[in-house]
Amino acid sequence: MNPNIYRNLLITALFSAVALTWGTTWMAMKITVATVPPIFATGLRFLCAAPLLLLLARYRRVPLLFPVGQRGFQICVMLFYFAIPFTLMIYGERYTSSSLAAIIFATMPAAVLAASLLFLREKTSLQQLIGLAISIGALGTILWHETHAGGVSQLKGIIALVAAVLIHALMYVQCKKRCTGISVLSYNALPCLGAGILLTLTGLTEAPDVHAFSTEALLAIVYLGVVAGVGGILCYFALQQVARPFQASLVFLVFPLIAIALENLLNGTSIGRESLLLLLPLLLGIVLTLYRGARTVEKPVLSPALRR
């Protein structure tokens, strides 16, 4: 087979796999949190993913510990990349739709750009700044519409999800600053295991009723841990090796559309019409943020899907 054709087919396959994984995790979290408490569910999710990540790290002979001098920061990764934001994600989905959760997380490139400007003083273009402004304005208007439609409980979920995005963006910037060159498996294996143990034990305070857990919720947890947690990491990492940074980052435009379509298909509901119309400027802003600025997200050391 022609090498160019093979490369294009590989990029298409990996891109589709990542987009489908990221687009379906939000519905999986929605199904999970219906019968499983959020902290306990997140702990189980990580415990499903951790053994596979550890086996992969061993197979690839990747060190589990960060280099000497960075091991304290590895604990920060466990807490502020895994434990806290992922719990906020699934907690937020108690009160918001899976469509809205996906839309909020689609603005991750804009959040990373803003954090890079503030903490790394990275140079940026006027185009990126315009994209950042458009993204923030469109998202703010969408959240305003959805909050008025959903009331105070919707606002609680939105705050939790936005907080998770901001924490992830700040952690990405800190990882880029402190720990370049560390394997993606080193970043994920032990922190995922540590977060799984911590959250599962902490989740016992939620008094989880195992008999109330639905079969769908348990399957969704396995899906989140194995397919999204492990498969999502490997596919996105592989995509970045064969595609240009801008190409890979376009997945942020696709996965929220998949999440919206899936929720509409399964539940017959989605976000409001005004919010759907505002998706166009939101996605346009993300494109402007990514173009020529994809270097800010070109080699994330952590899994965004989990992206996430």
The structural domains of the chain, with segments of one domain joined by +, span 3-296
What is the torsional sign of CA 23, 26, 29, 31? negative
Low-confidence ranges of the chain (pLDDT < 70): 1, 150-152, 292-308
Q: How far lies 39's CA from each of 94, 121, 192, in Å?
A: 12, 35, 14
**Taking a C-beta distance cutoff of 8 angstroms, is the pair 259, 31 a contact?**
no
- pLDDT given for residue 278 in this prediction: 93
pTM of the model: 0.89
Q: What is the pLDDT of residues 46-88, one digit of tens each?
A: 999 999 999 999 999 999 999 888 889 999 999 999 999 999 9
DSSP annotation of 301 reads: S
- pLDDT given for residue 287 in this prediction: 93
- pLDDT given for residue 292 in this prediction: 63
